[in-house]
Structure 1
Amino acid sequence: MEWDTPIEFDPVILMFHDPDRLLSVRTAIGAANALMTEFPCDDGEEFVAAIKACLDVIQGNASPGELRAAIIRAAAEAGITAIAVLH
């Protein structure tokens, strides 16, 4: 897979401490961007696992669902509310 290939999953809406700040994550590249630029900490186990899951999905070694679950766990670890949207 290439970085610019959209790998989509059911959206996860991240709600940060500022109630006006929401972010919808639904692709592997969107997840990587959110983790690297929006998360308040970058040293937790779940954060590192989510970063690895982004790479694994892009390389075809994990499913988008596994990445989605990793984003939700990383958000919980960072104190970010994650709303899991299902279609």
Structure 2
Amino acid sequence: MREIYLRDAEANLSVLVDQAVEGKPSIIMRHGRRAAVVLSYEEWERLSHVSSFGRLLVAAPLVADEVPERIPSPARTVEF
């Protein structure tokens, strides 16, 4: 991923956007630190819609016979 300083990004914003649309995101540096990322809207949308772990489990294509049985064990005592 390309790193570019803010002043250069301001001068070349249309180039950065074109590159992001082509799948080449850029990191914008400010005061020597990474401050922002320019990436395509499609990539941002893909990254922002990550499912929760629970939804991934529910959507898993498992058959009831494939899920292992839970091992019953006595509850442990905990002191508070």
Q: Same fold (TM over 0.5)?
A: no
TM-score, structure 1 length as denominator?
0.22
Whose relative contact order is higher, 1 or 2, with alpha carbons under 8 Å and at least 6 apart? 1
Q: Which has the larger radius of gyration?
A: 2
TM-score, structure 2 length as denominator?
0.23
